[in-house]
Amino acid sequence: MSDSAVSVSVSQVLSSLGIADALLPGAWAGAALDLLGDGVIESRNPADGSVIGRVSPCTDEQYEVVVARAQAQFERWRLIPAPRRGEIVRQMAEGFRKHKVALGHLVSLEVGKVASEGAGEVQETIDIADFAVGLSRQLYGLAMHSERPGHRMYEQWHPLGLISVITAFNFPNAVWAWNALLACVCGDGVVWKPSHKAPLTAIATHRICEEVLAAHGFSGLFGLVIGKNRAHAEKMIRDHRFPLVSATGSTNMGRHIGTVVAERFGRSLLELGGNNAIIVTKDADLDLALRGITFGAVGTAGQRCTSTRRVYLQESIAAEFTARLVKAYGQVRIGDPLQPGTLMGPLIDNDAVRCFEEAIITAVAQGGRVLCGGKRIDRPGSYVEPTIIAIQEGMAIVKEETFAPILYVGTFKTLDDAIRMQNDVPQGLSSSIFTTNFQSAEQFLSAVGSDCGIANVNIGTSGAEIGGAFGGDKETGGGREAGSDCWKQYMRRQTCTLNYSKELPLAQGVNFDI
């Protein structure tokens, strides 16, 4: 694609989403605030380094306006019946359907995802909106039998308050939606601090929802603050107006957020690092495994928290399968994410490329052997070669998460050995086994199997559906988002006991006669 074609594409995408190709405000309280902050955040296309938009950072004054407006609207919103809230979220889903192509392209332009992944991310937002609509009629409590005669017990759920959502660059639309759209049907308001590396996607997403909210008299229920550094995130995690902080990012970031929020007795929902492994047994369908591993490791240029970082192959198939994997890597088409046929786009920026290069140097120094890839591609943009490194057990680098397409490949004798090596990392997000042996699959899924929050059989580590709870344990943070009963995190539980008798019996048979 020529430079002029890219320029036209960017202009068309921004125009169709209602974003002028000019300086945009970095704070939104329903509508853009007049006050512009000092400095500029440049949104750059990682495919060629070009500037596709500029955003003025949020000021402290704007932050206060955004939060105060959202708080005021929450106090009204919580009184709206949940099914009615669901109907408004349904209309937001229609907005995302209308703008799916343009918003998907913007995701590709801003963070480098190939076109199908950009569109897929917006589809994930549509899916979670549809899930939230159904959920709006299923915010169930429980009825319980009281031990006291003439009493009834039940529990109910109430809106929690304002939810702070802090997201990373790699899913600039969908991860916000996991939180915001569920919180919305639960009766909450939301203030979003997106990554400064993807501000345009955040603004476009916000505007789609704001159009619907404004039409129903709730302009500002969703707020947006964009900053160049961590200052506003720090304000949010210390702000008592946010009873829940949901944050996606590094383990170090999550450790800090969890500590600060806990000190004020708030809740934190943390989705942090992943170091995901796939085990391939000698009886596996190797064609299936090859596809699952390649997408898991190469998709989004290895910049998913669920990306496949490690593969453990049973010794009898290791040599043959590794050769097939190297061949498959040689067929991965790398280039402009919006060009048809591209399978892997660029890393997000030059800092990511530097981390990629440093990890490979460290792995080799620790005894790893590069089987393919390992270099930056000499062309404009932040492109690298997808890389496979043969490892020895005990290499320290294997326990670290590098946000890049680096795949470590090791071998194992027994399934017990493979599970032990898989679990021997600080992170616990996603895991998979490829096997046709029923006993091996059941062992992997048992209490002595995978210690990850996500455990798959005969599919890869990446690409979770929204119907299940998403998240992991250990240094992944313990948070759960999206499906199942994750909605409960955005509400407060209340246990109610009603006495409809003429007596006042005490629980546990306690006597207190006056």
Strand boundaries in 40-80, DSSP class E: 41-44, 51-56
Note down pLDDT in tens along the chain; length 514 residues. Answer: 334 344 446 888 888 898 877 788 888 888 777 655 568 999 999 999 999 999 999 999 999 999 999 999 999 999 999 999 999 999 999 999 999 999 999 999 999 999 999 999 999 999 999 999 999 999 999 999 999 999 999 999 999 999 999 999 999 999 999 999 999 999 999 999 999 999 999 999 999 999 999 999 999 999 999 998 788 999 999 999 999 999 999 999 999 999 999 999 999 999 999 999 999 999 999 999 999 999 999 999 999 999 999 999 999 999 999 999 999 999 999 999 999 999 999 999 999 999 999 999 999 999 999 999 999 999 999 999 999 999 999 999 999 999 999 999 999 999 999 999 999 999 999 999 999 999 999 999 999 999 999 999 999 999 889 999 999 999 999 999 999 999 999 999 999 999 999 999 888 888 887 7
SS3 340: coil
CB 439 within 8 A of CB 414: no
| DSSP symbols for 101-120 | HHHHHHHHHHH---HHHHHH
pTM: 0.95
End-to-end alpha carbon distance in the chain? 88
Q: Which amino acid is at 281?
A: T
Q: Give dist(CA 197, CA 382) in Å, integer.
A: 14
pLDDT of residue 7: 44
The string of DSSP codes covering 351-373 is HHHHHHHHHHHHHHHTT-EEEE-
Residue 189 in contact with residue 77, Cβ under 8 Å?
yes
CA distances from 232 to 148, 290, 504 (A): 51, 43, 52
Annotated catalytic, 58?
Answer: no
H-helix or E-strand containing 122? helix 115-135
Instruction: Name the residue among 307, 325, 295, 511 with its Cα closest to residue 410.
Output: 325
Residue of 110, 124, 271, 481 with catalytic role: 271
Name the token pair of 105: 């392209």
Dihedral of the CA atoms 285, 288, 294, 296 (nearest 10)? -100
Task: Please give the DSSP secondary-structure letter assigned to residue 312.
Answer: E
| Residue-by-residue DSSP string for 259-290 | HHHHHTT-EEEEE----EEEEE-TTS-HHHHH
User: Residue 230 has what pLDDT?
Assistant: 86
Q: Please report the sign of the dihedral spanned by the C-alpha atoms of residue 386, residue 391, residue 393, residue 395.
A: negative
- The answer to whether the CB of 448 falls within 8 A of the CB of 471 is no
Q: pLDDT at position 367, please?
A: 97
Neighbours of 288 (CB within 10 A): 15
Strands (DSSP E) along 315-460, which ranges? 369-372, 387-390, 406-412, 427-428, 430-434, 454-457
- 399 SS3 class: helix
- Report pLDDT digits (tens) over 169-182: 999 999 999 999 99
Identify whether 210 is a catalytic site residue: no
Domains, in order of start, for the chain: 3-272+479-493 (3.40.605.10), 276-469 (3.40.309.10)
Question: Which entry of 58, 186, 305, 486 is annotated as an active-site residue?
Answer: 305
The conformational region for residue 123 under phi > 0 = left, psi -120 to 50 = alpha, else beta, is alpha
Contacts of 249 (CB under 8 A, 6+ apart): 166, 168, 271, 272
**30 is written with which tokens?**
């329903």
Instruction: Specify burial of residue 32 (Cβ count, 10 A radius: 0-12, 13-18, 19+).
Output: middle
Measured CA to CA in angstroms, residue 412 lies from 222, 288, 316, 389, 420 at distances of 50, 20, 9, 16, 10
Tokens for 264? 């004020």
The backbone torsions φ and ψ at residue 6, rounded to the nearest 5 degrees and listed phi first, read: -65, -45
Contact 213, 221 (CB under 8 A): yes
The DSSP 8-state label assigned to residue 508 in this structure reads G
- Half-sphere exposure of 57 toward its Cβ, with a 13 Å CA cutoff? 17
